[in-house]
Chain A
Amino acid sequence: MAEKVIAGVTVKVNDEGYMTDPSQWNRDIAVEIAKEYNITLTDKHFAVLEFLRQRVMAGEALTIRRVGSSGIVDIKEFYQLFPGGPLKVSSKIAGIMKPLSCV
């Protein structure tokens, strides 16, 4: 398993750059990873990231539909916040595993 320094912290990542230990995550790391996608994180972004982290820590599989019914964003907003594959991109920024969902 690889390690990477993000925002001054050494974190464990897999070969695609997804953090494998969500507890190593912090907001500065999120800001750094988001820059790779040219995303400037807003409070709305962070609300989504916190939601994703909570769901994953609770052992749930993430789907776009569940994010859409979270009450934080609808599906269209989710696509706008994280362009180019919202679930993948947001999970990476949230410091959680790459989602394996088909829906």
Chain B
Amino acid sequence: MSNVQNPLKKVLIICAKGNLEDVYAALVLANGAVMEGIEAKMFFTFFGLDAITKKTMNSLHTATVGNPAMRMPGGLPFPTLLGALPGVEAGVSAMMRSQMDKLDIPPVKEFLEMITAGGGEVFACKLAADMFKLKKEDFTEEVSDIITVGQFYEKCAGEGVQVIFV
């Protein structure tokens, strides 16, 4: 990065969704930043809170209904009605998680540990936490605080900062 004139110094990544693929997009972005020596902060809001809630974080799902990119193993289209059957979404999601594990992509909890070990910070949105009746103790210990949108913007201060919404 040293040969770039205005290098990126800090990223703030907002994760507002609780499905597997969007949560991982946010985690890969945050971890990738930390790996490159870029300061990274994550802000989880709305259904994104599932990714930092102890009860739900390691069993996130990908949608098998209403997801036109969903394919069967082998590449055939995945019938929406099949995706609606009980257990199918859980099975597909588990299969996807095991595929990711093979690529050395860690489970959510471990990913958050990696990000915070590298100096990244994880926050929960106050409004969403209130709405879902979640408290600090419901969240994984990597979450350092529950903050308001105003406090989030304070953390955006500085030069070479980007905000990414997932």
Binding site for B on A (CB under 8 A): 63-66, 68, 74-76, 79, 83-88, 102-103
- Secondary structure class of chain A's binding surface, majority of residues: helix
Cβ-defined partner of B118 (8 Å) among A63, A66, A79: A79
12 intermolecular pairs with C-beta atoms under 8 Å apart: A68-B114, A75-B113, A76-B117, A83-B37, A84-B37, A85-B36, A85-B37, A88-B36, A88-B37, A102-B28, A103-B103, A103-B106
Interface string of B93-111 (1 = CB under 8 A from A): 0000000000111100010
Q: Does B92 contact A (CB under 8 A)?
A: no
CA distance A21 to B22 in the complex (A): 39
B contact residues, range: 10 to 19
The smallest C-beta distance from B120 to any residue of chain A, in angstroms, reads 10
CA distance A6 to B34 in the complex (A): 29
Binding site for A on B (CB under 8 A): 28, 31-32, 34-37, 103-106, 110, 113-114, 117-119
Residues of A with C-beta under 8 A to B117: 68, 74-76, 79
Residues of B with C-beta under 8 A to A64: 31, 35, 114, 118
Cβ-defined partner of B28 (8 Å) among A74, A76, A103: A103
Residues of A with C-beta under 8 A to B105: 103
* A87–B35 CB distance below 8 A: yes
* A103–B31 CB distance below 8 A: yes
* A75–B114 CB distance below 8 A: yes
The smallest C-beta distance from A6 to any residue of chain B, in angstroms, reads 18
The smallest C-beta distance from B28 to any residue of chain A, in angstroms, reads 6
Residues of A with C-beta under 8 A to B35: 64, 85-88
Residues of B with C-beta under 8 A to A75: 113-114, 117-118
Residues of B with C-beta under 8 A to A76: 117-118
* A65–B37 CB distance below 8 A: no
CA distance A93 to B123 in the complex (A): 34
List the A residue with the shortest CB-CB distance to B110: A65
Q: Counting chain B CB atoms within 10 Å of each CB, which of A83, A86, A103 scores highest?
A: A103
CA distance A64 to B106 in the complex (A): 11
CA distance A86 to B104 in the complex (A): 17
List the A residue with the shortest CB-CB distance to B28: A102
CA distance A87 to B34 in the complex (A): 11
Residues of B with C-beta under 8 A to A63: 104
Given A63-B104, A65-B104, A83-B37, A102-B114 contact (CB < 8 Å): no
Residues of B with C-beta under 8 A to A79: 34, 117-119
The smallest C-beta distance from B91 to any residue of chain A, in angstroms, reads 25
CA distance A79 to B117 in the complex (A): 8
